[in-house]
Amino acid sequence: GGMLDTKGYGIAAPPNSPYRTAINGVILKLQEEGKLHILKTKWWKEKRGGGSCRVETSKSSSAANELGLANVGGVFVVLMGGMGVACVIAVCEFVWKSRKVAVEERLSAILHE
């Protein structure tokens, strides 16, 4: 497949530069005429063997794109592990706070007698 998100072309120029509008105009003109696409193909796909990758026609290459439970199962293991640790910490905090409150209530009951 092709690229999912292609960005436009641009050249950095300081604000209020007299060349900025002219450069933007030329870039838009080249893009509309398709010359930028031709240059991109020339430099990225034709030069130095670019684009001459081996085409794998085996069945495993098509299966590599499918995301099943076997491929992403580790994410769920980590998620469940994190939830388990969070539950243990929550129970420990509850017990800690309950004991602390119980001790404080005993002390206040003893002091008020």
pLDDT tens string 52-98:
666 655 555 555 567 777 778 889 999 999 999 999 999 999 999 99
Whether 93 is covered by a domain: the verdict is yes
Residue 59 falls inside a structural domain: no
Q: Is the entire prediction scored with pTM above 0.85?
A: no
What would the 3-class secondary structure string for 28-44 be? HHHHHHCHHHHHHHHHH
Domain ranges, residue 7: 1-53
Number of domains present in the structure of the chain: 2
**In this structure, are 78 and 49 located in the same domain?**
no
Same domain, 49 and 86: no
Instruction: Verify that 87 and 111 share a domain, yes or no.
Output: yes
Please check whether residues 15 and 47 belong to one and the same domain.
yes
Contact 49, 43 (CB under 8 A): no
